[in-house]
């Protein structure tokens, strides 16, 4: 299986986790001033598609008369609207709503998850954590608030985004090959502004090179949970070198005399050796496989410590971000029924319950700060409403995070 580039994964998650601001600014006006108009560019791009095996009929059907989605230029250059501390990032992505939904999906898809475990050895609850992180278990797959047709978006980027034009051209070609193969029609290819699609957010390149027909219906698609989860598990098993029956790691406690300089996230020792040095599980349980080799990691000084093994890095291979990986694995463990972290991050607070988040949304909306929903899911509208409330009442920082301070302030109001 071909290696997926970091760029692919970074753009792949942009629709669900927010803009990552990977590229230089390119406005729609700049694109319109490009030396080649869009229609001429479409005509000039055709030979490259034909060389990839796309028929002239398919190309003309998809590309002739296409209107480029020039709104992607603003998305491409946008800086993240909200900055989150690590504890906020983890809390928001491991929300009660996601944990509750994840437990429902564990029951609904028990046979599929069991088959994935049997075929690839990847733990079902960690796959649920990834599914929840990437698309909220499919809830945003075709939500027009977050997703859009990707052909007009990729065409606009390939035509008018100069710094990464080769990348966008390649992804547009990959999308055309998918259509040529009959795996999807253009209208069915809905995704983020950057082209990431489906339950586990595949870019076209990933769809072509990582996808498998896991439900044996004759085509490969990320829009069906079977293919999306099966193909992603196959990637994690192969590219990430996942080790069956081995946990990703665990939260640990350090003895008073422990030398914290050993927490370098590089040096591997067995669980048994770490125990000899004064490291124990935070929940007080014994290390189940004391011979497995792991590394000691303290993400933030004064916060929780973790022993992390190969399977931590197997999931990190899907998106090279420690924040993402820790939140994904913790979400999977919460769905499994394990408790929250024993040690808070510096300045952190517990996760709000579903009922508490719904209360914040109801009260804010009633106060004129429209959250867009009262279902306990925290999206951009809720965060904007929270930030406006924080600014009005003087809660600092006005970071848009719906936490205990905001809840207390609303109840006072």
Count structural domains, the chain: 3
Cβ atoms of 343 and 282 closer than 8 Å: yes
Backbone phi, psi, residue 350, to 5°: -65, 160
Calculate mean pLDDT across residues 115-142.
96
For CA atoms 160, 161, 166, 168, give the dihedral sign: negative
Q: How many CB atoms lie within 10 A of CB 334?
A: 24
Confidence of residue 17 (pLDDT cuts 50, 70, 90): very low
Q: Single out the residue of 184, 178, 159, 183 nearest to residue 169, CA to CA.
A: 159
Sequential DSSP letters for 266-300: --EEEHHHHHHTTEEETTSPPPSSTTSEEEEE-SS
Q: Single out the residue of 323, 380, 334, 377 nearest to residue 354, CA to CA.
A: 377
Query: Could you tell me if residue 405 is inside a domain?
Result: yes
Tokens of 364: 């804010």
Query: Could you tell me if residue 100 is inside a domain?
Result: no
Query: Could you tell me if residue 293 is inside a domain?
Result: yes
Domain ends where: 274, 305, 336? Answer: 336
pLDDT of residue 81: 67
Q: What angle do CA 406, 407, 409 make, to 5 degrees?
A: 65
Query: Could you tell me if residue 165 is inside a domain?
Result: yes
pLDDT of residue 3: 35
Query: Could you tell me if residue 164 is inside a domain?
Result: yes
Q: Indicate whether 55 and 174 sit together in one domain.
A: yes
Q: Indicate whether 152 and 51 sit together in one domain.
A: yes
Mark out the alpha helices in 181-258 (DSSP H runs).
Answer: 204-210, 225-238
Tokens of 225: 């949970």
Q: Indicate whether 183 and 266 sit together in one domain.
A: no
Per-residue pLDDT at 240 exceeds 90: yes
Higher-confidence residue of 407 and 4: namely 407
Per-residue pLDDT at 12 exceeds 50: no
Mean pLDDT of the chain: 91
Q: What is the pTM of this model?
A: 0.87
Please give the residue range of the domain that contains residue 277. Answer: 249-322+332-336
Q: Indicate whether 54 and 154 sit together in one domain.
A: yes
Tokens of 137: 């278990």
Cβ atoms of 109 and 146 closer than 8 Å: no
Which CATH number belongs to the domain containing residue 359 in this structure?
Answer: 1.10.101
Q: Indicate whether 207 and 269 sit together in one domain.
A: no
Per-residue pLDDT at 281 exceeds 50: yes
Residues 131-142 pLDDT 10s: 999 999 999 998
For residue 397, say if its preceding peptide bond is cis, omega within 30 degrees of 0: yes
pLDDT of residue 21: 35
pLDDT of residue 142: 85
Residues 41-98 pLDDT 10s: 999 999 999 999 999 999 999 999 999 999 999 887 765 667 899 999 999 999 999 9
Q: Indicate whether 72 and 151 sit together in one domain.
A: yes
pLDDT of residue 353: 97
In whole angstroms, give the CA distance from residue 183 to residue 234.
19
Domain ends where: 208, 238, 268? Answer: 238
Residues of the chain above pLDDT 90, percent:
85
Query: Could you tell me if residue 226 is inside a domain?
Result: no
Calculate mean pLDDT across residues 354-369.
97
Confidence of residue 298 (pLDDT cuts 50, 70, 90): very high
Our measurement of the distance from residue 281's CA atom to the centroid of its chain's CA atoms, rounded to an integer in Å, reads 28
Domain ends where: 210, 238, 266? Answer: 238
pLDDT of residue 75: 83
Q: Indicate whether 208 and 263 sit together in one domain.
A: no
Q: Indicate whether 368 and 258 sit together in one domain.
A: no
């Amino acid at each position: 299986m071909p290696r997926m580039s970091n760029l692919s994964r970074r753009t792949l998650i942009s629709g669900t986790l927010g803009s990552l601001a990977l590229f230089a600014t390119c406005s729609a006006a700049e694109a319109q001033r490009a030396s080649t108009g869009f229609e001429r560019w479409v005509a000039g791009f055709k030979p490259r598609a034909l060389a990839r095996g796309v028929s002239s009929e398919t190309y003309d059907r998809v590309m002739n008369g296409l209107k480029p989605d020039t709104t992607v230029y603003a998305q491409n250059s946008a800086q993240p609207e909200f900055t989150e501390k690590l504890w906020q990032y983890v809390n928001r992505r491991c929300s009660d709503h996601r944990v509750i939904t994840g437990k429902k999906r564990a029951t609904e898809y028990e046979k599929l998850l069991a088959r994935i475990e049997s075929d690839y050895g990847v733990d079902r609850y960690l796959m649920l954590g990834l599914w929840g992180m990437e698309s909220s278990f499919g809830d945003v797959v075709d939500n027009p608030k977050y997703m859009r047709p990707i052909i007009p978006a990729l065409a606009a980027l390939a035509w008018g985004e100069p710094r990464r034009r080769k990348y966008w051209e390649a992804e547009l070609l990959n999308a055309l090959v998918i259509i040529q193969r009959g795996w999807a029609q253009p209208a069915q290819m809905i995704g983020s502004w950057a082209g990431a699609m489906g339950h586990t957010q595949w870019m076209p390149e990933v769809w072509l090179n990582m996808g498998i027909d896991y439900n044996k219906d004759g085509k490969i698609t990320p829009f069906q949970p079977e293919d999306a989860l099966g193909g992603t598990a196959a990637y994690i098993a192969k590219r990430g070198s996942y080790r069956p029956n081995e946990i990703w790691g665990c939260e640990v406690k350090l003895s008073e005399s422990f030398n914290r300089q050993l927490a370098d996230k590089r040096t591997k020792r067995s669980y048994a050796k770490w125990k000899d040095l004064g490291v124990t599980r935070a929940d007080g349980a014994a290390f189940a496989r004391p011979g497995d080799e792991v590394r000691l990691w303290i993400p933030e000084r004064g916060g929780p410590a973790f022993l992390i093994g190969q399977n931590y890095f197997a999931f990190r291979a899907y998106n090279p971000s420690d924040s993402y990986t820790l939140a994904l694995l913790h979400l999977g463990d919460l769905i499994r029924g394990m408790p929250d972290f024993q040690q808070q991050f510096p300045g952190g607070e517990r996760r709000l319950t579903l009922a508490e988040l719904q209360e914040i949304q109801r009260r804010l909306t009633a106060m004129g700060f429209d959250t867009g929903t009262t279902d306990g899911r925290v999206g951009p509208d809720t965060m904007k409403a929270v930030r406006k409330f924080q600014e009005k009442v003087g809660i600092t920082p006005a970071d848009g995070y719906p936490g205990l301070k905001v809840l207390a302030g609303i109840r006072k109001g």
